[in-house]
A and B are shown apart, each in its own frame.
Chain A
Amino acid sequence: MIILEKVNVKFHARKAPDVHAVRDVSLRVGPGDFFGIVGTSGAGKSTLLRTINYLEKPDSGRVVVAGQDLGTLAPEELRKARLHIGMIFQHYNLLQSKTVFENAAFPLRIAGVGETEIHRRVDELLELVELTPKKDAFPSCLSGGQKQRVGIARALANHPRVLLCDEPTSALDLETSSAILELLKTINAKLNITVVLISHEMQVIKKVCTRVAIMLDGSVIEMGSVYDVFAEPKHPFTVDLVKRTQNLKLPDRLLKSHKGDLLEIHYRGERAEAPIIAETLRRFPVTINILHGNIEYIGDAALGTLMADLEGEPVARRNALEYLRQHVARLELIHVS
């Protein structure tokens, strides 16, 4: 649905060195994907997103959306292509002088849709984003979440095949953010719209995305299914990002006072649900003291992490470790007694 090939964006500033915002980015987003792009602020993810509807014209590279190479289109054709690429923004960017209805009707009006059809479609859209009662309200009277819902209604007005989301929940509180993400997920699944979402929060990506690209200094450093990236992050930056999201940090007091070997155990999939610890204890004369842990579900698949203190005679300990290593996805010895 979306193909980026070696996309580069540079910003030229007078009296300052050029900023290379996007470097040689190539990626493919399949139809129906919920694709996330994550990175710190200034990583170029927003610029990259804006190349997908050519709000930002790349200096080199190809951008193909729904079979159309945007770089080859004449201005008028590009404008028409944009009718079918929806976009929502961190700060909503609604027309403040117009009501909720008129904001959602805006893309229809510029597409030359007739008045009766506009009314029918906008009612349908407001129903979808659950904002029907606010039809005649002005954006100044809406909460942040409601404003983003108007933004979503506007973005979907012309039945786009692609929806671009530029930090859509970054200005919202946690609960509202979850509700908006749920809505986006529903839209992705039910309307079969390909979604590209950028965020600086791994949590957001984890909640909704199926695939993710991680950006650092303008380059994509890692890409894959959200589950794989979480389970086995490769680049040190990603490892760090995932660790921070899981928030598995032991207090210093525990790090100093533990008696045996300190283990970090990672489970994947069905194994996360199997009683491996209990089995180890049954087979070997060791004790395992669990210090920290969690099991996350990404989509349907489980991903578990445990931090445990393993105690016992050296031989028993070694055997237990060997058994564990065979039965879990990854085992890290953080500290050997």
Chain B
Amino acid sequence: MFHDLDTAVLLQDLLKATVETAQMTGIGLILSLLLGVPLGLVLFLTGKGLMWENRILALGGNILVNFVRSLPFVILLILVLPLASLITGRSTGPLAASVPLAIAAVAFYARLVQVSLAEVDRGVIEAAVACGATHWHIVRHVLLPEAFPGLLRGFTVTAVSLIGYSAMAGVVGGGGIGFLAINYGYYRYETGVMFVTVVALVIVVQAIQSVGDWVADKKDHKIRD
């Protein structure tokens, strides 16, 4: 099945690639939580009729997010290469690749956060204001918990997209499963390897999506009428 390739070597490569993928998407996901959620909150709260209503900030945030999201990922990858090597000190490898991945993920997730927050009933926010809640209380006790199932579903979508993007990160020598599939399976005509990597990716994506959906459903107490 694997022609003249040594199975042990292949397994080793697959393991290494998996670790690299996990590294790249992991860093991207952590940063999308740390930066994407606050950015999403800012996008939402500076919107019309909300606590921090500010047209300039809202417009600026929107343009920034739209700009990042409109760039094809491969272009973004190359564009931020100098930045990546500046931050991480290297221009290849999973660490360097995680910089453009994180930028794409933050912009993507921020938009999904904004959409989830917009779903929160304005009446509930108003009730909190009437109770004497501070802005922080509203974010902490109303917006985030009420939007939690949506935030989690968005996070799952972001994670799956990131795995897809991480394959393209092979362009900067980022490595990872996707890179393995292209290198061995496509360039070296090792259909078997490609098959194995694709199966591995399918399983990972299915697992992430299922766990995400399961938790989101469990936490979802929304009244549907």
A interface residue numbers (CB < 8 A to B) = 53, 55, 79-83, 85, 87, 89, 91, 93-98, 106-107, 109-111, 138-140, 154, 158, 164
Contacts and interface: CB of A to CB of B under 8 A. Distances in A.
Nearest to B129: A55
25 contacts: A55-B130, A79-B132, A79-B134, A81-B132, A82-B129, A82-B130, A82-B132, A87-B127, A89-B126, A93-B121, A94-B124, A94-B127, A95-B124, A95-B146, A96-B121, A96-B146, A96-B221, A97-B148, A97-B222, A106-B131, A107-B131, A110-B133, A139-B221, A158-B131, A158-B132
Contacts, number: 76
A46 to B, nearest CB: 12
Nearest to B125: A93
B145 A82 contact: no
Given A97-B148, A98-B145, A55 B131 contact: no
A139 B224 CA distance: 11
Contacts of B224: 140
B219 interface: yes
A197 B152 CA distance: 40
A91 B132 contact: no
B221 A55 contact: no
A107 B146 contact: no
Contacts of B90: none
Contact of A110 (B141, B145, B219): B141
Contacts of B145: 95, 97-98
B223 interface: yes
Contacts of A80: 132
Q: Nearest 9 A-B pairs (CB), nearest first? A: A82-B132, A93-B127, A83-B132, A93-B123, A138-B221, A87-B130, A107-B131, A97-B145, A140-B223
B130 to A, nearest CB: 4
Identify whether the interface residues of B are mostly helix, strand, loop, or mixed: helix
Interface in B91-109: none
Interface in B185-221: 219, 221
B132 to A, nearest CB: 4
A55 B141 contact: no
A83 B131 contact: yes
A95 B134 CA distance: 16
Nearest to B134: A79
A240 B130 CA distance: 35
Contacts of B55: none
A122 to B, nearest CB: 14
Given A82-B130, A97-B146, A110-B133, A140 B222 contact: yes
A196 B131 CA distance: 16
A205 B145 CA distance: 37
A93 B126 contact: yes
B142 interface: yes
Nearest to B138: A110
